[in-house]
Structure formats: structure tokens, C-alpha cells
Structure 1
Amino acid sequence: MNYWLPLSLRMGVPYSEFWRLNPRKIKPFIKAYQDTLEENQRIENVNAWRQGQYIKVAIAAALDKRAKYPEQPFGEESREKTPEEIDELVSKRAQLFAAQMEIFNQKFKKAEQASSKSGENT
């Protein structure tokens, strides 16, 4: 009783219904609850990933004047666009990509210079 009642209530089984069930009949409730938890975890992971994408773009925009933070949420681009809007979007994404690659290249050059300097000292 100390195990099944709290577990059943947590899973959404009504108190009055609990008394008409046995552990075998509660198993579908357990499965549904586990599925709900897994789906909620998946949604949280997707939201965290999306937030990381916004942070990445924000950092790129802060480090390079050519990179711009999006004016609308990701995914809002799905409505029909005019050719001018499409060209502008492609241009902005190309600028963002160029800014990200520039940052990457600068880090790579610094690392390469540091390794060549340490090689000279040996």
C-alpha cells in the first residue's frame, strides 16, 4: 500500500479508481506515465538545443559586426516569402556562416602559431 498508492496517484490514477485496481491493472498507467516522462524529456532536450542555437548566433553577432541576430524565432521562416525576402535571408545566413568560419579560422591560426612557437623552443 505504501508503494502502490503514492505511485498510482503520481501517475494520475484517481483515488477512487485505485481501490478497484490491482497491480496488474495499474501497469498500463505506469507505461503511460513513463511514456509521458520520456516525451517531456525529449521536448526539454529539443528546447535546450534550440536555446544553444540562439546563444551561438548571439555570440557570433557580438564578436563580428557582419553576423546579425535573427529578427524572428527560428522556424518562423516557413511562411511564403517573396524573392527579395529569400535573397535577404540567404545573404544573412551566408554572412553568419562567414563570421563563424572567420572565428574558427582565427582560433585555428592562433593554435597553429602557438604550436609552431613551442616547436621552435625545443
Structure 2
Amino acid sequence: MNETQRSGYAERLKTAAEARKALLAKFQPRAAVTAAEPIDRAARKAAELAQVRQTRAAAKSARIEAAAQALEAEREAAAAIEAAALEAKRGERKERKALTKAEAKAKRDARYAARKARK
């Protein structure tokens, strides 16, 4: 303690009491500043919930749409493969028919030529 102050016991008690009051004042609730417009927390929470639901619904519909498009693309690819296989099968059949027709014509021509040769 400083000798120049010459504080006595009562003065020290008073200073300690003021220090305790200052410490307790820190823990006291302060007066709140009231808002100019009251906040409706329930409405705000409901609006946020509606926004989240709308976002999730949009994401879900996008996922469903993407799945539908993927399924449709798969279906179209399968149809294209099937059509190509059918076209190849038809091409083979046409080729066989053309060869058979050519063989039949060659056979007829051979018979005609043989008949002409006999005469």
C-alpha cells in the first residue's frame, strides 16, 4: 500500500465493498434495447421452413425428372439397337433372296441354253 495515501481500515473496507459491487454489476442483466418493430420469430421460422421445403421439393423433382430422362434415353437406345438388329436381319434376308433369285435365273438360263444347244 502507498504510504502517501494514509488510508485507514474503514477506507480499505469501503474500497473492497466497491470492488465487490463492481464485480457483481458485471453479472447483472443489462437493460435491453427494444426494437422499433417487434420480431415475430414464429413467422420467421415458418418462412424459413417453407423455403427449405420448397428447395427440397425442387431438388426432388429435379432428381425425378433426371431419372425419367435417363430411363427414356435408355429406352430409346434399346429401341435403336433393336431397330438396327432388325434392319441387319432384313438386309441379310434381302441378300439371300437376291442370291437365290440370281441362282434361279442362272439355272433358267442354263436350261434355255441347253435347249437351244439341243436344237
TM-score, normalised with respect to structure 1: 0.35
More relative contact order in 1 or in 2 (CA 8 Å, sep 6+)? Answer: 1
Structure having the higher Rg: 2
More helix, by proportion:
2
